[in-house]
């Protein structure tokens, strides 16, 4: 699909508007009215995408969202590697979220790091009837005995904890005192709170504020603060993303004193208020604590985007602008150093990907942040949407990322997404595990954009080369000729294709 002329763009807009109407037609009137507010065609020059967001999903349509517990345990707290995170409640929620996000870390699992292990209080009927506080206290004792090198515990509340009124704060305080002041964090992230995992992120941020920052004030520092100290906030180190990011910051002369929460530790959380600048990757999940640190400790924060060379360059210069000339020169040095690598990746993959179209549907920042990386490869993102975005995410998307005529879908339903893909016929869909096999069975190339499909990193210059290779591999794999999409079926000789 070409979007190069005004006539083309108007035709695309017209088609997308008709497509939205067609998708809405199958719903009952009330549902159609509600869903219509979440779907739109982006108009250039508008300050947001024109969709409503962060609103309760409609029962009966298939949403792809998670719950507040998933936002706290699965995203914010779970990757803090030297703490043990108890999934407090029945076993199911924890089992489902076990090690699902590929948050890489350095350490010896089960000895001093615990990210890929799953701890649950495994609530039974009697715990619901009589309360689970005693069980929680017992579990903490067992943890102290079995894993003496743990540096702290969090209690990640599942739905029943809030319903039966357990006092996890009292248990946490008592056990912290008993263990000589160990950090124990009760998190009220019961899944029923809010409309998606987004409120879980906020609650988790507030727990860092109340149970880590406030309690560690006055504690002796483990390091000497310096003029170039920064903290990486909101990088979950999926497939090593934070590592390929911090290397660039360090090479430009900054000192990374903390990274949250991928490969992060409790000592790093405690050190962060001493940073000179917080650099924020996932705005959605960590803006709350960044704002708090600015207000309470005077630490400024800036958003950055390390997907693709264009956005990396912009971001390195933006981060450097908070520091003196030595760091600004450092940023230029880093940009120059990696130019050959990115030029080579673009020379190799752009001819194979030029003009290919992509539809995205992901979480916190990726529905907008990866657009530049696709464009660096000559590709066009023709549709995008957030699972749990808020209005400020759609504003950033409209003002800095999407092109005129892009189809926007908030909290898209399973039906709508399939319909849009079937009609728009993109060359690639980037979304999550729940969508992957639906689209692959439709014969559409797919990449998981939450977990990088067991690949990565995708952040930083090193990550871009891997991103380019993976997108090429997904789109240009010969397998698609053997399993053509229904609209491309040509009754070809598949044995001949296989032999090519």
Q: Which residues would be at the binding site for ligand SF4 (CB under 6 A)?
A: 67, 69, 93, 158-159, 191
Residue 191 vs 426, nearer CB to ligand SF4: 191
Closer of 158 and 241 to ligand SF4 (Cβ): 158
Among positive and negative, which fits the CA dihedral 214, 98, 442, 346? positive
Closer CB to ligand SF4, 90 or 456, in the complex: 90
**Residue 199 beta carbon to ligand SF4: minimum distance, rounded to whole angstroms:** 12
Per DSSP bridges, beta strands 39-41 and 407-409 are antiparallel
Do you find a cis peptide bond into 246, omega within 30 degrees of 0? no
Least distance to ligand SF4 from the beta carbon of 159, Å? 3
Nearest by Cα to 384 from 366, 411, 361, 363: 361
Structure tokens at 16: 């997308």
Instruction: Report in angstroms how near the CB of residue 158 gets to ligand SF4 at its nearest.
Output: 4
Cβ neighbour number for residue 34 with a 10 Å cutoff: 18
201 catalytic per annotation: yes
Cα angle, residue 21 at apex, residues 20 and 27 outer, rounded to 5°: 100
What's CA 115's distance to the chain center, in Å? 17
Q: How far is the CB of 357 from ligand SF4 (least distance, A)?
A: 35
Measured from the CB atom, the residue of 192 and 223 that comes closer to ligand SF4 is: 192
Q: Annotated catalytic residue: which of 34, 42, 101, 396? A: 101
Cα-to-chain-centroid distance, residue 270: 23
* Distance in Å, CB of 443 to ligand SF4, minimum: 32
305, two tokens: 């985007």
Q: How is residue 130 written in tokens?
A: 């009589």
Pick 17 or 65: Cβ nearer ligand SF4? 65
Q: Which of 85, 201, 202, 450 is catalytic?
A: 201
Q: Which of 67, 159, 189, 345 is catalytic?
A: 67
Whether 450 is catalytic: no
Closer of 86 and 266 to ligand SF4 (Cβ):
86
471: nearest Cα among 463, 481, 460, 482 = 463
* Residue closer to ligand SF4, measured from CB, 100 or 146: 100
Cα(367)–Cα(421) distance, integer angstroms: 16
Distance, in Å, from the CA atom of 381 to the CA atom of 375, rounded to the nearest integer, reads 8
Q: Residue 444, SS3?
A: coil
What is the DSSP code (8-state) at residue 386? B
Residue corresponding to tokens 């400020």: 392
| Closest distance to ligand SF4 from the beta carbon of 197 (Å) | 9
Contact call for residues 32 and 24 (beta carbons, < 8 A) = yes
Could you give the CA distance from residue 188 to residue 40 in angstroms, rounded to a whole number?
35
Catalytic residue among 70, 207, 231, 474: 70
Q: Which residue is nearest to ligand SF4 (CB)?
A: 191
Compute the least distance from the CB of residue 97 to ligand SF4, in Å. Answer: 8
Active site residue 67: yes
Closest to ligand SF4 by CB, 69 vs 401, is 69
- Least distance between ligand SF4 and beta carbon 339 (Å): 46
Query: Measured from the CB atom, is 191 or 264 closer to ligand SF4?
Result: 191
Q: Retrieve residue 293's tokens.
A: 């640190």
CB of residue 63 to ligand SF4, shortest distance in Å: 12
DSSP 8-state secondary structure symbol assigned to residue 56: P
CB 26 within 8 A of CB 382: no
Known catalytic residue: 70? Answer: yes
Peptide bond into 457 cis (omega under 30): yes
CB 498 within 8 A of CB 477: no
311 closest CA partner among 376, 406, 237, 245? 376
User: Is residue 12 classed exposed, middle or buried when 0-12, 13-18 and 19+ CB atoms within 10 A define those classes?
Assistant: buried
The CA-to-CA distance between both ends of the chain, in Å, stands at 27
Q: Residue 136 in contact with residue 86, Cβ under 8 Å?
A: yes
The residues annotated with a catalytic role in the active site are: 67, 70, 101, 201
């Amino acid at each position: 699909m070409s979007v190069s002329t005004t006539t083309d763009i108007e035709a695309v807009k017209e088609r997308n508007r008709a497509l939205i109407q067609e998708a809405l037609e199958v719903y009952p009137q009330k549902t159609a009215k509600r869903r219509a507010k979440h779907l739109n065609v982006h108009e250039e020059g508008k300050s947001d995408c024109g969709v409503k967001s962060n609103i309760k999903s409609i029962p009966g349509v298939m949403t792809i969202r998670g719950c507040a517990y998933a936002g706290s345990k699965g995203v914010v707290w779970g990757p803090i590697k030297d703490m043990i995170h108890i999934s407090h409640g029945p076993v199911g929620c924890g089992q489902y979220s076990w090690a699902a996000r590929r948050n890489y870390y350095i350490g010896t699992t089960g000895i001093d790091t615990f990210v890929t292990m799953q701890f649950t209080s495994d609530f039974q009927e009697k715990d619901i009837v009589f309360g689970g506080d005693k069980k929680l206290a017992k579990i903490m004792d067992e943890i102290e005995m079995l894993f003496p090198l743990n540096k702290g515990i969090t209690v990640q509340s599942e739905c029943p904890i809030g319903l039966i009124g357990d006092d996890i704060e009292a248990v946490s305080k008592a056990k912290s005192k008993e263990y000589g002041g160990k950090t124990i964090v009760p998190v009220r992230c019961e899944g029923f709170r809010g409309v998606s995992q987004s409120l879980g992120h906020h609650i988790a941020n507030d727990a860092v504020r109340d149970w880590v920052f406030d309690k560690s004030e006055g504690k002796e520092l483990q390091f000497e603060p310096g003029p170039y100290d920064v903290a990486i906030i909101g990088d979950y180190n999926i497939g090593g993303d934070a590592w390929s990011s911090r290397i660039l910051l360090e090479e430009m002369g900054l000192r990374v004193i903390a990274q949250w929460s991928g490969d992060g530790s409790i000592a790093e959380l405690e050190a962060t208020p001493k940073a000179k600048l917080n650099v924020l990757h996932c705005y959605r999940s960590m803006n709350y604590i960044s704002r708090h640190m600015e207000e309470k400790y005077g630490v400024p924060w800036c958003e950055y985007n390390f997907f693709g060379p264009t956005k990396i360059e912009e971001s390195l210069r933006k981060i450097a602008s908070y520091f003196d000339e030595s760091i600004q020169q450092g940023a230029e040095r880093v940009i120059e150093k990696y130019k050959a690598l990115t030029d080579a990746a673009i020379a190799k993959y752009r001819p194979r990907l030029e003009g290919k179209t992509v539809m995205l549907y992901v979480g916190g920042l990726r529905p907008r942040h990866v657009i530049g990386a696709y464009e660096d490869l000559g590709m066009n993102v023709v549709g995008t949407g957030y699972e749990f975005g808020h209005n400020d995410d759609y504003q950033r998307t409209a003002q800095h990322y999407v092109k005129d005529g892009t189809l926007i879908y908030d909290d898209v339903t399973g039906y709508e997404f399939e319909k849009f893909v079937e009609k728009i016929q993109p060359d690639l869909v980037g979304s999550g595990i729940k969508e992957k096999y639906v689209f692959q069975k439709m014969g559409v190339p797919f990449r998981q954009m939450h977990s990088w499909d067991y690949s990565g990193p995708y952040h930083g210059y090193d990550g871009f080369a891997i991103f380019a290779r993976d997108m090429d591999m997904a789109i240009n794999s010969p397998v698609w000729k053997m399993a053509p999409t229904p609209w491309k079926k040509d009754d070809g000789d598949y044995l001949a294709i296989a032999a090519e």
